[in-house]
Structure 1
């Protein structure tokens, strides 16, 4: 849950990341746990396009922390793994703990660790977009 090792390594690898991945990984708010644009505490809502070259991961906000949902679009996907602690939970991996984006021979890898499993994408590049969310008791 501590990004400090990754963050100390990030300046030496950020130049090797594709442009969209680099922008997302080096965004000052990404690993600031107090920021509304920190990925920690988001919840995976859906993964779209499984098996295709274009995929998307939709993350739902946490009303106590975020006012936006996160949509990550992956282009040129060459690998995808979902590793669940409990196979019966489907895409319910619990909340996001931490993520890491690393250079890969095909572009980049993006591993997202959650309380109950993880997702790993290997792709040419990714684009992260924060989308306005409505916080309510039904959200």
Structure 2
């Protein structure tokens, strides 16, 4: 991620998350982000850590990869029952890159929760990076639509 800072803090057995630099940059990105990406990134509670519509603590629940390039990539995130009122589904249009990266073997049997995400302008659309506890999802696409509700 370019602006959001995420660091493991062993003394707290947890992550230190700081979206401040991204939030400072975000207003200047409105003209260069696609409309769906802008709407999602600029939602009032998106980075408010205790808010029910903050992405932090959502759990990756499904990935739907299209067979053809004109299809839509979809990521589903389940609600954390102690924080969220509903889950989140993100659909990506005209995807040019999709990857799930990790420095170590991912345990797919354990839940992988969202730490934070960052959406930046990218050639012909946007680049969405989602930092999870065990991995990093990267999607480069024309635009996206994020919908809160049942996943």
Query: Fold conserved (TM > 0.5)?
Result: yes
5 Å-filtered alignment, 1:114-129, equals: 114-129=132-147
Q: 1:113 aligns with which of 102, 126, 131?
A: 131
Match of 2:87, SS state, is strand
DSSP 3-state at the match of 2:130? strand
CA distance in 1: counterparts of 2:97 and 2:110, whole angstroms: 20
- Counterpart Cα distance in 1 of 2:98 and 2:23: 24
Aligned equivalent of 1:13, options 7, 29, 33: 29
1:22 is paired with a residue of what secondary structure?
helix
Q: Which residue of 1 aligns with 2:13?
A: none
CA distance in structure 1 between the partners assigned to 2:108 and 2:66 by the alignment: 13
The equivalent of 1:96 in structure 2 is: 114
Determine the C-alpha separation between the residues in 2 that align with 1:92 and 1:101.
26
The 3-state SS of whatever aligns with 1:15 is coil
Maintained 8 Å contact 2:73/2:91: yes
Q: Which residue of 2 aligns with 1:64?
A: 82
- The 10-residue stretch of structure 1 (82-91 or 109-118) with the greater mean CA deviation from structure 2: 82-91
- Residues 64-73 or 47-56, more deviating: 47-56
> How many residues align structurally?
133
CA distance in 1 between counterparts of 2:103 and 2:22 reads 24
* Residue matched to 1:23: 39
Unaligned runs of 5+ in 2: 1-16
Higher helix residue share? 1
What TM-score does the superposition give when structure 2 sets the normalisation length?
A: 0.81
2: CA distance, partners of 1:104 / 1:5: 19
Aligned counterparts of 2:109 and 2:61: Cα–Cα separation in 1? 8
Q: TM-score, normalised by structure 1?
A: 0.88
Closer/same/farther in 2, CA of residues 34 and 84 from structure 1, 3 Å limit: same
